[in-house]
Amino acid sequence: MINSVADFFQRIFDPIVNVMGQVLLYFHEGPLGAPWWLSIALLTIVVRSLLFPLTVKQVKNMRAMQDLRPAMDKIRAQYPNNRQRQQEEIMKLYQERKINPLGGCLPILVQMPIFIGIFYVIRQFGGYTVGGRTIPPLEPSFHDGGLLWFQNLSAADPLHILPIFSALTMLAATEITAKNIDPQQRWLMRLLPIGITIFLFNFPAGLFVYWITSNLVTLVQNYVIYHHGPGRRSPDSEPGSLFPGGLFSRASGTSSDGNGARALANRQQTENGSVAQGTQASANGDVAAQAAKSAKRKRRKKKKR
């Protein structure tokens, strides 16, 4: 039954399977002459590099959605009992800001056919059994094209190290993203690698070579995007920053504003006091000078007499 379903989907994904199979053969039999495991890794790097613009677009869309959240909360507060009106106003907001709420799903939707395609390529190259009948491998060398303990790329990892390493690399890649999303969704992203690993636990080792390489490429791409690219959170947009540079924090609230006002008032008062003291000192000096001149005149008059 499972093989019948697999054959059905293989016919659907035949174009992708053929293209990926040819690229894999090029890396293995072409000028590079790479072993099968390295050919799978190189194919993965090429695929993920081609999808990198979609990943950047996904992050930009996510940032735009985060910036839109205050306006959406305002709409929900304005129409608390009218869900239809909320949806209409939010859709208008999407159109005004030119944001696609489903834009974040595009890279995942594109990667799924590729993942399924590489599964069928490995299945064809290494051979498989269907209905008690064994289909011979298209590339017999695929059975010893692995590395270290997983020599047969068409069979499951006998030590189950690859599934565990796959989960760890996926967790490391998603951890960078998890720091930039809603805290309520972080644990879901952290549990996702475990669920995927359980599902793929007995899949061919060649598929895990693809998956682990993809996770490592994702880790590098996420680091670049979230530390040096469009996903980088500027100080102006950090939660709690009301003004550029974070001069006034939301956490300190009215208290910080009051303290700032009081400090400004004290400074002005000090400056005013200094000015007043200077003015008073100047005035006192003028009086003293006038008194000295008056006393001098009186002494001159006395001498003349």
Coil vs helix vs strand at 297: helix
Whole-prediction pTM value? 0.66
% residues pLDDT > 70 (the chain): 66
pLDDT in tens, 119-169: 888 888 888 776 667 788 888 888 888 888 999 888 888 898 999 999 899
> Do 135 and 126 meet the contact criterion of CB atoms below 8 Å apart?
no
For the chain, domain boundaries: 2-233, 253-304
pLDDT at 305: 52
**pLDDT classification of 226: cutoffs 50, 70, 90:** confident
> Do 166 and 212 meet the contact criterion of CB atoms below 8 Å apart?
yes
pLDDT at residue 89 is higher than 70: yes
pLDDT in tens, 183-212: 666 777 778 778 888 888 888 899 999 999
Of how many residues is the chain composed?
305
Segment holding 259, helix H or strand E? helix 253-304
**Rounded mean pLDDT of 242-271?**
38
CA distance 116 to 130: 18
> Do 76 and 86 meet the contact criterion of CB atoms below 8 Å apart?
yes
Whole-angstrom Cα Rg for the chain: 36
pLDDT at 45: 94
> Do 220 and 228 meet the contact criterion of CB atoms below 8 Å apart?
no
**Rounded mean pLDDT of 291-300?**
62
**pLDDT classification of 217: cutoffs 50, 70, 90:** very high
CA distance 160 to 165: 9
How far is it between the farthest Cα atoms of the chain? 146
| CA distances for 27 relative to 66, 115, 120, 221, 292, angstroms | 42, 18, 18, 23, 105
Mean pLDDT of the chain, nearest integer: 74
pLDDT at 46: 92
State residue 249 phi and psi, 5-degree precision. Answer: -100, 150
Q: Select, from the ranges 7-11, 41-45, 89-93, 289-293, the one with the highest average predicted confidence (pLDDT).
A: 41-45
CA distance 81 to 113: 41
Q: In terms of pLDDT, which residue wins out, 180 or 279?
A: 180
Coil vs helix vs strand at 130: strand
State residue 147 phi and psi, 5-degree precision. Answer: -145, 145
pLDDT in tens, 39-87: 999 999 999 898 888 888 877 877 777 778 888 888 888 888 888 888 8
- Strand positions, DSSP E, 76-223: 128-130, 133-135
